[in-house]
Structure 1
Amino acid sequence: MAQTVTLDYYFNHETHKTKSGQAERFHYLWEDTANSGFSVWGGIFKSKGATLNSLETAPTSANLKGTSVYIIVDPDSKEENPNPNYIQQADADNIAQWVKAGGVLIMMANDSANVELNHFNLLAAKFGMHFNNDMQSHVIDDAHFDDGAVWINNNPVFKTSKKAFIKDACSIGLSGQAKPLLKAASGTAIAAIAQYGEGAVIAIGDPWLYNEYVNGRLPAGFDNDKAATDLADYALSWCKPPRKK
C-alpha cells in the first residue's frame, strides 16, 4: 500500500494575481512547477512509490489518518496573507498526537522576516524545538553561493548529500530529545531532529528544497537534489515497519 505524503495548504496559503486579475495559489505547492514550487521534491516522493496529498483545512486526527509524512512549510504572516490561518494550540496537540502514533512531521521555517514564527513555535515546542528570530547563512547575491554552504558528514538523514545550500535560515533552539541535524558555519543548528513516541520530527530553518534549488540552478558541488532524495528516503523508511529507533 502506498504511503501518503501530505503537504499543508492551510497554514501556508499565499496567492498572487494572474495577468487576468484572478487570485492564484503559489509558493511551496506540489503542483507549482515554477521556481517557487515543490514539484521536483514531490516527484521524488512519487518515484519512491508514495502518493501526494494536500491538506487545505486545520489538521485533525480524522484528516491526518492515513498520512505517513506531514509537511508544514513557511506558515503565513499577515504580510503574506491578510487573513492568515495561524497554528493554534489545538492544532499543535492534534499534530503531536499523530506524530506520537508513528507519523513523520517535517517543519520548514524561514528567516523571521518571511515567516510567522510565534504560532509555529507552539508546534515546535512540543518536540523540544524553537525557531529563533534571526538569520543564518545570509547570501547577498549569486556571486556568494558559498556563504550558504552547509557541509554534511556522517548524517543519519542526509546520507548521500555532502554539501547543501541553505540561505537566510533561522536557527533552532534545542531542548529535551531534540538534536542538531545540520549546522550553519557559525555552529548554530539550522536543522534538528527528534523522536516523539513512535514518530519522528525534522525541523529546518528554511524551505530549502523548493524547485529553484533542486533543479540544477546551483553551482556544481551543491547536493540539494541529493538532500531532497535523502530526506524523502528517511521519512518514508521511518514509516515502514520495523520503525527505526
Structure 2
Amino acid sequence: MQSKAQEFRLQCRRGDFNSHTSGSCAGFAQANLIILPNVLAKDFEDLCFRNPVPCPLLSKIPKPTVVEDKRIINGEDFDIRTDLPKYNIYKDGKFVGEKSDVTQEWTEDHVGFLIGCSFSFENELSAQGFTPKHQKEGKNVSMYITTKYLNAAGVFVKCPYVVSMRPYKVDDLENVRDISRQFRKTHGEPIDWGYEAVKRLGISDIKKPEFGDAIEIADNEIPVFWACGVTPQAAIRALGDKAKGIVMGHSPGHMLILDLTDSKAKNL
C-alpha cells in the first residue's frame, strides 16, 4: 500500500499537481533539491558542511532513483526527475526556464542533493496555534535574496543567503522560535526578526520578494526570517559562467515530499 507521501509524488509525476507544497501532505517532511554537474558536486557538498543552517544536507542522489539516506525516502517507486511539482533549469549559471520534469536534462554526470526545507516545521507550528499566514491565505511563502554571504567553499565564493519570511506577533516570537528550533536539519529557528532585520539582511523591499508571494505584515506583526533552501540556486546564479552546464533545482516553494515524517525530522 502506498503512503500518502508516495501517492503525492506520483501525482506530481503524472502532472496532476503543479502548485507550491506549503501545507501539502501534513505530517511529512519536505526537501529542497539541487542537481549539479559532477564537477561542482564536491565543492557544493563542502558548501553545505560550511553552511549547515541555510544548506542542511539531507542526502545525496547519485542516480535519479537512488537516495543514499534511506530514512529520507524509502519508497521503491521514486524518481527525482519527475516527482516534484516544478523545476527550475539553469544553463551556465543563468536561469533558462521552468519545467514539470527534468528527465531530458539529467545525465550520468549529474549528482542530486536534498536540502532540508522549513515547510517541514509548518505543520508543528499550525498544530500549536501558530499557522503561518501564507498557509492561511493559500499562498507561497515570501523569499528574499539578502546581502548576507555564505562561508565560501571551493568555487562557491560570495554566494548570497536567501531567507523565507513569516509574519508573527511579537508575543508569539519565543514560541515560534522554540518550535522551529527543534528542526535543525530543516533550517531550525529564525536567523533574524523585526524591521531592523530587514536592514541588516539588506532586503531592498519587504513588499517585493524575489521568490514566492508577497505576504502582508499587519501593524501588530513583525517579519520573522528563516534561512531558505533556495540559497543553493542563488549560489549557482552567483557563480555565473563558472557553473558550466545544466543545473536543476526545485521551483521555489515546490518541494519534494519525503517519506520522513515531521516527528522523525527532529531527530536527524
- Same fold flag (TM > 0.5): no
TM-score, reference length from structure 1: 0.29
TM-score, reference length from structure 2: 0.28
